[in-house]
Amino acid sequence: MSKNKQTAITPIREENYAEWYQQVIKAADLAENSDVRGCMVIKPWGYAIWENIQKALDAMFRETGHRNAYFPIFIPKSYFEKEAEHVEGFAKECAVVTHSKLEHDGKGGLKVAGELTEPYIVRPTSETIIGASFAKWVSSYRDLPLLINQWANIVRWEMRTRLFLRTAEFLWQEGHTVHESEAEAREETFKMLEVYARFAREYLALPVLTGTKTESEKFPGAVDTYCIEAMMQDKKALQSGTSHFLGQNFAKASQIKFQSRKGEVEYAWTTSWGVSTRLIGALIMAHSDDNGLVLPPRIAPSHVVIIPIYRSDEEHSQVMEFAERIKQTLKGLKLDDVMIWTELDDRDLTNSERNWYWVKKGIPLRIEIGPRDIAQNSCMVARRDKEPRDKTSVAIDALSAYVVQTLSEMQNNYYQKALDFRTDNTINIDDNKEFYRFFTPRNSEQPEIHGGFANSHWCGDSACEEKIKDDLKVSIRCIPFDAVEEPGKCICCGKYSQKRVIFAKAY
């Protein structure tokens, strides 16, 4: 890439990826830090992406038999104490409510008062409180399976935060299900992981690896955790969704029991699964470029912007009339199941300012209309996946078909591009020295983009996993479902290994 090329975002990815990420968010006006430490304000363009994520996933949950419900944000401390391993995993990052009111302190301020007899934890995840309800709802095999989803906010008291990737409060969905048998609960766990993988592929244009988490990376309290992992453009992994088989652990802690078909009282089998506003972080880091946000059309808040170009008042009314007509023409068009939305940007800004504004926001198509276009009954169309100044003349009669087809093509191209990038940056490594070289930046002062996914043998010992994490900040992202059985040597200790796992640096 030429160093002196003009870009809308400074610094560019190669110079400082972390700062580039913040600048893309700012330029697209997706979100900002709030006065409340660690909490973000999600602005309309960013929130609309979340709403589209919700819409698509919610339909998929519904198709697979799930229904939405809502449970309290406050979870009594005693609920958490029922499941030891679980509390271990979350205790360090909980917000705890200890008082119930405010009183005047006599000096013009307020003081907290009304200490609670039992503190409440502000929802870090809902297994325990949902379990308490499920225990009441389930009494017979006839009540099963119970398939519930909740859209909610979560608080994890993070100290080092980053917009969308790690914030003290974030938005998510959490599915919680109860089953008669282990086999059925396991099937549900895989089914929902596949829903996430399909959603990532088809809407976010994000290729994901599916696999099992190692013992040390799994959800506290789960028997098995499965995940989808995506590669970002800095070659780091981002865990984009998880699905947990909880065995009977939470059923025992919450007393979720049922009378079986044989008339015996048994503990149920449960699962939970979730994705969060982190997906927006994944979307930004997987697709955006040095000119700002890039949005796959199926998840974009808006798809087309019409930019009227005029020099006089007379031209203005003529161009606006034509622009409105085009907006009407595009109204009601769909890209598969997604409604295509059109903006009309008539703000008192230069053509260039309006164009760059929308480039940075990642709108897929920009349509310019000037007096000359009206005369020819055509318009100039620019695509976000081409150079900003690349434009194509399209006849108005052909515009609707062009828009739908181009958006569909862009969606596919973004997926293919991300897949090619991952393929190019995934390698089999069998030599320990090469492995260390792969994950060590040449410039440790200001690390350049390096590494990728290393597909290497691992003996299964958590000591080896731990050593690599300590040495290189590299973790096992997953044991891929499609890993083939082949004899090899552990990349760390050299002992016998049965299969390769995915090592990477991660968010």
Helices 17-28 and 351-361 cross at an angle (nearest 10°) of: 120
The residue range among 135-143, 391-399, 447-455, 461-469 that interacts with Zn ion, by the rule CB under 5 A, is 461-469
Q: Least distance in Å: CB of 429 to Zn ion? A: 14
Closer CB to Zn ion, 51 or 486, in the complex: 486
b/e map 440-469, b = 16+ CB within 10 Å? eeeeeeeeebbbbbbbbbbbbeeebbeebb
Place of tokens 């994705």: 275
Give the C-alpha separation, 293 to 285, whole Å. Answer: 9
DSSP string, 111-139: EEEEEEEEEEEE-S--HHHHHHHHHHH--
In the bound state with Zn ion, the residue whose beta carbon lies nearer, of 14 and 430, is 430
Q: Give me the least distance between CB of 487 and Zn ion, in Å please.
A: 14
Q: How far apart are CA 56 and CA 339, in angstroms?
A: 12
Nearer to Zn ion, 163 or 459 (CB): 459
Backbone angles phi, psi at 362, to 5 degrees: 80, 20
Q: Measured from the CB of residue 227, what is the shortest distance to Zn ion in angstroms? A: 22
Query: Using CB under 5 A, which of the segments 7-15, 135-143, 200-208, 463-471 binds Zn ion?
Result: 463-471
Q: Considering the complex, state which of residue 147 and residue 459 has its C-beta at the smaller distance from Zn ion.
A: 459
Q: Kindly tell me which of 220 and 460 has the beta carbon lying closer to Zn ion.
A: 460
Stretch that binds Zn ion, among 38-46, 344-352, 367-375, 455-463 (CB under 5 A): 455-463
Helix (H) or strand (E) holding 238: strand 237-245
On the CB side of 424, how many CA atoms lie within 13 Å of its CA? Answer: 11
Q: Which amino acid is at 371?
A: P
We find the least distance from the C-beta atom of residue 463 to Zn ion, in angstroms, to be 7
Burial (CB < 10 A; 0-12, 13-18, 19+), residue 35, is: exposed
- Residue 461 Cβ vs Zn ion, minimum distance, rounded to whole Å: 5
Residues 483-502 vs Zn ion: string with x where CB under 5 A?
A: -------x-xx---------
Would you say 311 or 467 has its CB closer to Zn ion? Answer: 467
Which range of residues in 42-50, 152-160, 269-277, 482-490 is near Zn ion by CB under 5 A? 482-490
Q: Which two tokens stand for residue 399?
A: 């515009």
How far is it, in rounded angstroms, from Cα 136 to Cα 159? Answer: 37
Token pair listed for 356: 């760059």
Alpha carbon of residue 211 to chain centroid:
17
Q: How far is the CB of 493 from Zn ion (least distance, A)?
A: 3
Find where tokens 């363009």 sit: 45
Q: Using CB under 5 A, which of 231, 293, 459, 478 touches Zn ion?
A: 459
What is the smallest separation between the CB atom of 457 and Zn ion, expressed in angstroms?
8
**Candidates 59-67, 189-197, 454-462, 476-484 — which segment interacts with Zn ion by CB under 5 A?**
454-462
Residue count, binding to Zn ion (CB under 5 A): 6
| Least Cβ distance, residue 224 to Zn ion (angstroms) | 21
Binding segment for Zn ion among 2-10, 15-23, 429-437, 451-459 (CB under 5 A)? 451-459
Q: Which run of H or of E encompasses 193?
A: helix 182-202
Nearer to Zn ion by Cβ, of 194 and 461: the residue is: 461
Distance of closest approach, residue 465 Cβ to Zn ion, in angstroms: 8
Q: Are 29 and 36 in contact (CB under 8 A)?
A: no
Is residue 464 a contact residue for Zn ion (CB under 5 A)?
yes
Give the binding site for Zn ion (CB under 5 A): 459, 461, 464, 490, 492-493
